[in-house]
């Protein structure tokens, strides 16, 4: 990044030398790029006028804009680059070099960068032109090696003596974010600061760019909203407008996996087919136990995933989490088990079954045991996935459903076989 005052002035927009992009066209394209699948976004940009495409890309988050720009054909990149200040495309190229979900993917070019010896009056003079084209919150002060040495708040700059140098009015050693910091860690660092903009630096202190505060929380909100789909095998990148074939490719493999795991639950039922033939009333309670234990597991899963996303597990022992969810499952299992047992007793009695009381006891024990196992599974599934290096949210509900179905059916039919046959 060139940080001299001369190069800073080069950030002036090229739109003054070209036709202005129609606002309606830019907004329409930007809205569509935000909503559609990335592969379709490449097509939309390629079909748009370079001026419209360039303006629309700049309205997207830096991560989305950089990823989309990198996926464009070289000739389209060249046409769009001609309509953008060079620091913007250079920043996008740098952003792509950082891992997903890091601060570096959200960087924007640092505008308003000066050396410490520059006088206040000269900085203000240059800023008058820059603020017409760029949204500037702070002035950044760097030395000859582009190391960030200070930051100047606009209010301090405007009320300072015009003859003072920036080194005399700047805040020294300002708070910064490292480019390779994971977004969740960055959110924790800025949670109590609430600054509108944060400078981003390398480990050596070199100013690499800036990230706006709302972008950090916007990115994490998108990540959290994608978890619900990830739990059932929906890719995070899939949108309502994703093409049919692409959605099919995303989803179908997980459905095949779900079918395979369903065969496991089916095998359990088949193993106890003789018990079901002799005690037909048990069949009515198989979906009851499976549904109740499944909901218990999903509650534990949701809390565990939320804790992972918010970084709460760093301050809580995993064993404590597992024990808590298991105990919650046990307590809930006792209460819903009593209700289910009452239902079984009433149903069996209405059919004049001689072992109505025994059946109700079996339902109670099966419900308590399956809810206990479901609570443990809901917390263990994402933890195990993370341990093996997989996305904790990816298809976690498929594995959880298998565990809860097998547990509930095995307990109900197994206890019935053991106590009644």
Contacts of 274 by beta carbon, 8 Å cutoff, 6+ apart: 421
pLDDT for 229 equals 52
| Best CATH choice for the domain 96-230 from the list 1.20.1260.10, 3.10.580.10, 3.40.50.300, 3.40.50.2300 | 3.10.580.10
pLDDT for 17 equals 40
pTM summary value: 0.58
Q: What is the CATH number of domain 244-420?
A: 1.10.357.20
CA–CA distance, 264 with 258 (Å, rounded to integer): 10
pLDDT for 377 equals 93
Alpha-carbon separation of residue 298 from 87, 125, 179, 257, 396 (angstroms): 47, 59, 35, 19, 10
Contacts of 337 by beta carbon, 8 Å cutoff, 6+ apart: 363, 364, 365, 366, 367, 368, 371
pLDDT for 1 equals 43
pLDDT for 16 equals 44
Alpha-carbon separation of residue 86 from 17, 68, 75 (angstroms): 15, 17, 16
Helix 38-47 to helix 62-71 angle, to the nearest 10 degrees?
Answer: 70
Are the folds of 96-230 and 244-420 the same?
no
So where are the chain's domains?
96-230, 244-420
CA–CA distance, 368 with 329 (Å, rounded to integer): 8
Comparing C-alpha atoms, which of 104, 111, 157, 150 is closest to residue 132? 111
pLDDT for 357 equals 93
pLDDT for 389 equals 75
* pLDDT by 10s per residue, the chain, length 421: 444 444 444 444 444 444 445 667 888 888 788 767 777 888 889 889 989 998 889 888 888 888 899 999 999 999 999 988 888 888 998 999 998 889 999 999 998 999 999 999 999 999 998 888 888 999 999 999 999 999 999 999 989 999 999 999 999 989 999 999 988 788 888 877 889 999 999 999 999 999 998 888 776 665 555 555 555 555 556 666 677 887 788 778 878 888 888 888 889 888 999 888 888 889 889 999 989 998 999 899 888 887 876 677 777 788 899 999 999 999 999 999 999 999 999 999 998 888 999 999 999 999 999 999 999 999 998 888 888 877 676 667 788 888 999 999 999 999 999 998 7
SS (HEC) of the chain: CCCCHHHHHHHCCHHHHCCCCCHHHHHHHHHHHHHCCHHHHHHHHHHCCHHHHHHHHHHCCHHHHHHHHHHCCHHHHHHHHCCCCHHHHHHHHHHHCCCCCEHHHHCECCCCEECCCCEHHHHHHHHHHHCCCCCCCEEEEECCCCEEEEEEEHHHHHHCCCCCEHHHHCEECCCCEECCCEHHHHHHHHCCCCCCEEEEECCCCEEEEEEEHHHHHHHHHHHHHHHHHHCCCCCCCCCCCCCHHHHHHHHHHHHHHHHHHHHHHHHHHHHCHHHHHHCHHHHHHHHHHHHHHHHHHHHHHHHHHHHHHCCHHHCCCHHHHHHHHHHHHHHHHHHHHHHHHHHHHHHHHHCCCCCHHHHHHHHHHHHHHHHHHHHHHHHHHHHHHHHCCCCCCCCHHHHHHHHHHHHHHHHHHHHHHHHHC
| The two three-digit tokens of residue 97, written as one number | 């070099």
Comparing C-alpha atoms, which of 109, 113, 118 is closest to residue 169? 118
């Amino acid at each position: 990044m060139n940080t001299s005052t001369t190069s800073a002035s080069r950030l002036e927009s090229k739109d003054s030398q070209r036709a202005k992009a129609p606002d309606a066209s830019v907004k329409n394209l930007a809205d569509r790029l935000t909503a559609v699948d990335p592969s379709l976004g490449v097509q939309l940009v390629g079909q748009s006028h370079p001026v419209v495409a360039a303006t629309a890309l700049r309205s997207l988050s830096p991560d989305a804009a950089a990823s989309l720009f990198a996926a464009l054909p070289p000739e389209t990149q060249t046409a769009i680059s001609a309509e953008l200040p060079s620091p913007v495309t250079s920043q996008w190229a740098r952003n792509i070099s950082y891992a997903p979900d890091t601060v570096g993917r959200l960087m924007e070019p640092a505008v308003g960068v000066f050396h410490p010896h520059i006088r206040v009056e000269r900085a203000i003079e240059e800023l008058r032109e820059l603020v017409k084209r760029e949204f500037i919150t702070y002035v950044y002060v760097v030395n000859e090696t582009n190391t960030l040495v200070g930051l100047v708040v606009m209010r301090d700059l405007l009320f300072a003596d015009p003859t003072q140098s920036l080194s005399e009015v700047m805040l020294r050693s300002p708070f910064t974010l490292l480019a390779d910091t994971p977004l969740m860690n960055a959110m924790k660092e800025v949670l109590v600061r609430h600054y509108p903009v944060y400078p981003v630096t390398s480990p050596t202190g070199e100013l690499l760019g800036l990230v706006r505060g709302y972008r950090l929380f916007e990115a994490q909100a998108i990540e959290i909203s994608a978890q619900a789909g990830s739990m059932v095998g929906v890719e995070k990148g899939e949108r309502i407008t994703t093409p049919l074939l692409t959605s099919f490719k995303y989803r179908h493999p997980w459905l095949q996996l779900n079918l395979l795991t369903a065969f496991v639950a089916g095998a359990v039922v088949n193993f106890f087919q003789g018990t079901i033939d002799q005690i037909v009333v048990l069949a009515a309670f198989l979906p009851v136990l499976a549904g109740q234990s499944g909901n218990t597991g999903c509650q534990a899963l949701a809390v565990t995933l939320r804790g992972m996303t918010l970084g709460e597990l760093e301050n809580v022992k995993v064993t404590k989490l597992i024990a808590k969810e298991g105990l919650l499952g046990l307590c809930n299992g006792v209460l819903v088990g009593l209700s289910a047992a009452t239902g079984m007793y009433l149903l069996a009695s209405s059919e004049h079954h001689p072992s109505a009381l025994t059946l109700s006891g079996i339902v109670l024990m099966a419900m308590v045991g399956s809810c206990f196992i479901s609570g443990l599974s809901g917390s263990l599934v994402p933890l195990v996935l993370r341990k093996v290096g997989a996305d904790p949210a990816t298809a976690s509900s498929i594995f959880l459903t298998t565990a809860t179905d097998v547990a509930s059916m095995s307990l109900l039919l197994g206890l019935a076989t053991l106590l009644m046959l």
